[in-house]
Structure 1
Amino acid sequence: MQLLVYSPQVTPRTKYIFNFIFREVLHCDFDFTSVANQFSAYQGPKFSYAENPLGGELFFKTAGLLAKNNIEKQHIAITDFGDERVPFAVENSALPFDIFAASFYFISRYEEYLPFTADDHLRLPAEASLQFELGLLKTPVIDQWSMILKNLLLSKLTNLHFGSRKFEFIPTIDVDRAYHFKSSGILKNTARFIRAIAKGDTERLSNIVNTGLQKKKDPFDTYQFLHQIHEKYGLAPIFFFLLSHKGDKKHDVNIHPNDELLQQLIKDTAKTAKIGIHPSYASNYHTTKLKEEKELLDALLEKNVDISRQHYLKLHLPKTYLQLIKAGINHDYTMGYASQVGFRAGTCTPFFWYDLQLEKQSHLKVHPFAVMDATLLNYLKLTPTQAINLINELIESVKMVNGSFYSLWHNESLSETGNWKGWKAVYEKMLASSVFS
């Protein structure tokens, strides 16, 4: 039978988070009622979500966040729940915290609408998030809480049905620089050659010379390896290409978007993988660039590309998502942190972005990633062995809830050059862990 939920005030926030938890995560059909008599007369599975219970029904106490329609700093009470510290503590409730308010706070990225001290790229640092403070960042807590809620409801209610879902792994690749030396031109490579001599960097010298003489592949040309390994494990990858022209000189260092080799690479990659736009660093302050870059990729592939991931993970809410929607993007893969692994929105399940300013669900679907190569090496300073262990922990946490595991890698981190020596094996072991239990 259908689950009935009594709530005296069914707000857009309430509808949004209940739909996500029950329909997207738990695959359970439900309906709301604000009529007490209708709820009391209902003979099927039911519970109330309010400030006070109607009678002796299964009751979840609201912390009040979902009843509001403004954005303001929250005074969040913290409590213990098992071995976790959780937000929005309540008393005299089936659970010691408001699972719905806590889930909404995380998935809406409520705290990112409030003032915060940004990092060098004007991003919210992972360390400033409530999940990091509570030690919840490395687990998809909304999915885990949903499973606990499911078990609680099954123990208290009868005739309640939940569907099932399967774990899936989606590898994603950001192509910031398609090639290191190839397609860079004589002047740029000569300058690199001189700098390498000055530094005594024999490996770099060898790569410049041998790539120029076509004795070996460009170090960043790892596309054949990627195709073969994705095919080996039966995975469907997504590639995001940076196509900036006269972008930010320091951060948009891609090959010219009209380069024939780059364009052919994109066309060839599109035969075996999904292709998305990687909006440039400069597109964050020159908004016309997003449109230009997307139109270039659309024309090249002769189709409308509607998936994206921000270069440098530059995500500013709600501005970035509003710009993406205006440009015709329907799926974004930026939701994750640079400095820490884990689940920025508290979930490993794709979700529709909730616009807190307009108080409504948008049609932009957010696909959160759990781990990025640069996070492991550059921020956490892990060895390949340490990285593999951490990745396995993340994968297991997603498998526990049958969620979606998204990884973010770069073509250059598979080059086995410089600081990336030994990291090709990390990628292959990550893929193997995702396929084999």
Structure 2
Amino acid sequence: MQLLVYTPQVTPRIKYIFNFIFREVLRCDFELTSVSNQFITYNGPKFSYAEKPLNTELFFKANGLLLKNNIAEQDLAITDFGNERVPFAVANSALPFDIFAASFYFLSRYEEYLPYTPDEHLRFPAEKSLQYELGLLKTPAIDHWAVILKNLLLNKLGKIHFGSRKFEFIPTIDIDRAYNFKSSGIVKNTARFIRAIAKGDTERLSNMLTTGLGKKKDPFDTYQFLHQIHEKYGLTPVFFFLLSHKGDRNHDINIHPNDELLQQLIKNTQKVAKIGIHPSYASNSNVLKLKEEKALLDALLEKNIDLSRQHYLKLHLPKTYLQLIKAGINHDYTMGYASQVGFRAGTCTPFFWYDLQLEKQSHLKVHPFAVMDATLIRYLKLSPAQASMIVNELVESVKMVDGTFYSLWHNESLSETGHWKGWKEVYEKMMALSVVG
């Protein structure tokens, strides 16, 4: 029989988080009601979510967050739950914390609407997040809690149908610089050559000369390797291309979008992968530039591209998502941190963005990633061996809840040059983790 949930008021926030937990994560059909008599007389599996129970039913106490329609600092009462520290503690409830309020707080990125001190790129710092503070960032907490909720309901209410889902691995690749030396032009490469001589960088000099003479592939031309390893494990990757013309000169340094080599690369990649736009650093504050960059990719591939990931992960809520929607983007892959690995929104399950200012679910689907190559080497300063261990832990945490694991890599980090020596093996080991069993 269908699960019935009583709550005194069926708010947009309650609809949103209950739909996500039960339909998206647990694959369980349910109905919400605010009619107490309908709930009391119902003979099937049921529970209430309110300030106090109606009778002797299974009861989950609500802390009040989901009944509100404003954005304000919250009383984040912390309690212990197993070996975890969790927010929104409550008493006299089936669980010691409000699982639905806590999940909504994480998933909506509620804290990112509150005042905070941004990092150098004006991003919300991972270290300021509640998950980081509680030690929950490396766990898809919402998915984990949902499984606990499922087992509790089965134990207390008997037969409820829960569907199943399968672990999925989706590698994503950001192309900030398609090539290191090819298509860079004489002026730029001459300047690089002079700098390499001044620094005594013999490896860089050798790469420039051998690439220029056609004796060796450009170091950043790792596309054949990527296509082969993705095919080996039966994976469907997503490539995001930066197509910035006159962008931020310190951050948007890709080849000119009209370059024939770059355009051919994008067309060839489309044959073996999904393609998305990598909105430039400069476009984050200029929606017209965002639309221009997307239009270039649309025209090149003769189709509407509706996937994106922000360059430098420049995500400012709600502004960035509103701009993406205006530009015709339906799927975004920016949800993750630069300085820490883990699950920024508390989940490894794709979800529709909830606009806290309008108090409604949008049609923009968010695909959260768990790990980025630059995070491992630049921020956490890990060796390739240490990085592989962290990646393995993250993948296993997603496999435990049959979720979706998204990785974020760059073509250049597979070049086996400079500080990226040894990191190709990290990627190979990570791809092998896509195999279940």
Q: Shorter-chain-normalised TM-score: which range?
A: over 0.9
Identity between Structure 1 and Structure 2 (%): 83
The alignment partner of 2:95 has SS state of coil
CA distance in 2, matches of 1:420, 1:312: 19
Q: Answer yes or no: is the 8 Å Cα contact 2:72–2:114 preserved in 1.
A: yes
**In structure 1, distance between residues paired with 2:74 and 2:43:** 38
Structure 1 residue 159, shift from structure 2 partner: 2.6
- Alpha-carbon RMSD across the aligned residues, in angstroms, is 0.5
In structure 1, give the amino acid aligned to 2:97: F
Specify the SS of the correspondent of 1:257. Answer: coil
Please list the CA deviations of residues 291-335 of structure 1 after superposition, one character each: whole Å capped at 9, or x if unmatched. Answer: 000000000000000000000000000000000000000000000
Amino acid at match of 1:251: H
The answer to whether 1:97 aligns with 2:97 is yes
Tell me what 1:378 maps to: 378
What is the CA distance between 1:436 and its match in structure 2? 4.5
- Deviation, structure 1 residue 434: 1.9
Does residue 291 in structure 1 map to residue 291 in structure 2? yes
In structure 1, distance between residues paired with 2:10 and 2:99: 16
Matches within 5 A, 1:7-406: 7-406=7-406
> Using the alignment, how far apart are the partners of 1:41 and 1:350 within structure 2?
36
TM-score (norm 2): 1.00
Distance in 2 separating the partners of 1:190 and 1:40: 79
Query: Deviation of residue 158 (structure 1)?
Result: 2.1
Q: CA deviation at 1:286?
A: 2.2
Determine the C-alpha separation between the residues in 1 that align with 2:228 and 2:315.
Answer: 32
CA distance in 2, matches of 1:326, 1:284: 13
Q: Secondary structure at the match of 2:163?
A: coil
- Cα distance in 1 between the residues matched to 2:222 and 2:32: 52
Question: What amino acid sits opposite 1:227 in the alignment?
Answer: H
The Cα of 1:218 is off from its aligned counterpart by 0.3
Q: Deviations over 1:27-53 (max 9, x none)?
A: 000001111111110000000000000
Q: Which amino acid aligns with 1:7?
A: T
Tell me the equivalent position of 1:2. 2
How far apart are 1:435 and its partner, in Å?
A: 1.4
Does residue 427 in structure 1 map to residue 427 in structure 2?
A: yes
Q: Secondary structure at the match of 1:151?
A: helix
Q: 2:341 is matched by which residue type in structure 1? A: V
Give distance in 2, aligned partners of 1:252 and 1:85.
41
Within 1, Cα distance between the matches of 2:64 and 2:128?
Answer: 24
Contact 1:384 1:422 in 2 (8 A): yes
Contact kept in structure 2, 1:44 and 1:159, CA below 8 Å:
no
Contact 1:207–1:218 (CA under 8 A) maintained in structure 2: yes
- Shift of the alpha carbon at 1:270? 0.3
Shift of residue 97, structure 1, vs aligned partner: 0.1
Aligned positions, number: 437
CA distance in structure 2 between the aligned counterparts of 1:144 and 1:269, rounded to whole angstroms = 36
Q: Distance in 2 between matches of 1:417 and 1:118?
A: 32
Give the alignment's TM-score, normalised by structure 1.
1.00
Query: How far, CA to CA, are the matches of 1:184 and 1:79 in structure 2?
Result: 56
Give the structure 1 partner of residue 411 of structure 2.
411
CA deviation after TM superposition for structure 1 residue 287, in Å: 2.0
Using the TM superposition, give the Cα deviation of residue 424 of structure 1 relative to its aligned residue in structure 2, in angstroms. Answer: 0.2
Is the 8 Å Cα contact of residues 105 and 111 (structure 1) preserved in structure 2? yes
Q: For 1:347 and 1:433, how far apart are their aligned partners in 2?
A: 19
Amino acid at match of 1:78: I
Displacement after TM superposition at 1:210 (Å): 0.7
Query: Conserved in 2, the CA contact under 8 Å of 1:173 and 1:408?
Result: yes
Query: Does structure 1 conserve the Cα–Cα contact (< 8 Å) formed by 2:287 and 2:327?
Result: no
Aligned residue identity for 2:421: K
Contact 2:233 2:431 in 1 (8 A): yes
Following TM superposition, the consecutive aligned residue runs of length 4 or more in structure 1 with deviations greater than 2 angstroms are: none
User: Aligned with 2:434: secondary structure?
Assistant: helix
List alignment gaps of at least 5 residues for structure 2: none
Alignment partners' CA distance in 1, 2:287 and 2:31: 41
Q: Please list every run of 5 or more consecutive structure 1 residues that lacks an aligned counterpart in the other structure.
A: none
SS in 1 for 2:72: coil
CA distance in 1, matches of 2:218, 2:411: 11
The secondary structure found in structure 2 opposite 1:434 is: coil
Give distance in 2, aligned partners of 1:273 and 1:350: 19
Summarize deviations over 1:312-360 as a string: whole Å, max 9, x none: 0000000000000000000000000000000000000000000000000
| Partner SS state of residue 435, structure 1 | coil
TM-fit CA distance, 1:73: 0.9
**Contact residue 415 and residue 421 of structure 1 kept, 8 A:** yes
Report Cα offsets for 1:215-272 as digits up to 9, x if no partner: 1000000000000000011100000000000000000001000000000000000011
How far 1:433 sits from its partner (Å)? 1.4
Deviation of residue 74 (structure 1)?
0.8
